[in-house]
Amino acid sequence: METTLKKLVENFAHPDDSYRPQPFWFWNDDLNEEHLSYQLDEMQDKGIRIFLVHARMGLSVPYLSEEWFQKVEFILNEAERRGMKLWLYDEENWPSGYAGGRVLAEDENHCGKYLRRFPAGKVPEGLHSVCRKGDWEYAWGYLHYHPAYSQSFYVDMLSRAATECFIRTTHEKYAERFADRFGKTILGFFVDEPGFYNNFEMYNYCEDPASYIWNEELPAFFKREKGYDLLEKIELLYERSEESDRLRCDFYDSAARMYEDNFLKPLADFCHSHGMQLIGHLHSEEFLPYHVKTQGNLVRCLNALDWSGIDRIDVNPEKVTEKYGSSAQHIYGKERCMSETFCLSGWDLNLKRMRRWTNWQYVRGVNAMVLHAFYSSIEGDRKWECPPTLFFQTYHWKYFRQYTDYCTRLSYALSQGDFCAPAAVYYPITTQQSLVEPDSIAAATAHDRLFLDVS
């Protein structure tokens, strides 16, 4: 984007509202309309012009019910009256894709799947045999990972049918009511933390150790992409050799492409067909082994979003999370790199620390801030649900306009001109794909440590 210095100076004092920080607005109570209107007044007074409606733990109005949509319509009317705009968060809590349990309610086969190996003839009941190679038998099972605060299970990111159900039960329900506001008051949808959750070390339990992401159509997709039969060489996924390194790279590359084609791109296509954008961030950006385990290839998958995006949930200076997002922004020619920021920063977070960590991220290429979060309520357990709130409940709220104006000008200035990188660091994703083993990420983590030291 070419911008003269004169234009930059002229617009610096009062940039376009699109550069203002945009908060998650946690709808986590009874959505009393008088209280909602008050919160909009407070946002507007502190320089917030765009926000994200986010169904969150504590919500007493049934998600995607008729009452829910009545509250959305109320907020749309109030926002339009104030000259404000909004994004729609596409899920109840997180991660995106299961529509608060509606996707699996339609078809249990939409559940996520994993692949494991067992001694031949010893496949546990309930799993489905894929093939037998020598002394081993390979079988897939359903992934029993619970999304946040849900009794449902997570969905198959490689399944177009599951994604179509998600769109039908979520996005199209909004379109039935508010299509005339798409691309106007409603800017688009926010997708949050989708990815592969099999064999994920953060589980309190793990019934699928030493597993790979799976889908019944993956072998055929793999053969079309790579030109050879995955099942003929499947034992190499569990071995260490030059040939197994190649197979793992091809496997994760195919899984990433299938994930893009069957989940991320259909969401983007829906938004684009209705004059909107798709923004958000993916799952576990902080460390390279998880770029493989949860996405196949995180930086490439970011291309499916209209803004590149990352999640900065703590203030650990050893991470280079922002550089993954800003690198994707530059590689794929996107205008913005968004950061969802300040989750789990604690109740002692103040404006001085907020400014410090905003600077920290912006100098690494971020130029759009999604604030986590404005809580409608902090009563009871909600106070400890990924704190802190950044909203009217804080002691420094009356000074918050100083932060929003500062962040707005920084976002504007760092969105102008042409990016020039005097140095580059190679993104070693294929090395990581070869090092991530089904039962260990130790070698990949050691390699990541070298990458972080260099970066």
Tokens of 55: 């169904």
The answer to whether 387 and 346 have CB atoms below 8 angstroms apart is yes
Q: Give 135-177 pLDDT, tens digit per residue.
A: 999 999 999 999 999 999 999 999 999 999 999 999 999 999 9
Task: Read off the pTM.
Answer: 0.97
pLDDT value at position 201? 64
Parts of the chain with a pLDDT under 70:
1-3, 201-205
Residue 242 neighbours by CB under 8 Å, 6+ apart: none
The answer to whether 265 and 307 have CB atoms below 8 angstroms apart is no
The DSSP letter of residue 85 is: E
pLDDT value at position 153? 96
Alpha-helical runs (H) found in 170-239: 171-178, 218-226
pLDDT value at position 15? 95
pLDDT value at position 256? 98
pLDDT value at position 2? 52
The answer to whether 373 and 54 have CB atoms below 8 angstroms apart is yes
Alpha-helical runs (H) found in 170-241: 171-178, 218-226
Q: 380-388: which pairs have CB atoms within 8 A and are 24 or more residues apart? A: 380/58, 381/57, 381/58, 382/28, 382/29, 382/57, 382/58, 385/28, 385/56, 385/57, 385/58, 386/343, 386/344, 387/344, 387/345, 387/346, 387/347, 388/342, 388/345, 388/346, 388/347, 388/349
Q: Give the up-direction half-sphere exposure of residue 31: CA atoms within 13 A in the CB hemisphere.
A: 23
Q: Give the up-direction half-sphere exposure of residue 84: CA atoms within 13 A in the CB hemisphere.
A: 29
Q: Give 53-83 pLDDT, tens digit per residue.
A: 999 999 999 999 999 999 999 999 999 999 9
pLDDT value at position 121? 95
pLDDT value at position 1? 45
Gap between the Cα atoms of 358 and 389, Å rounded: 17
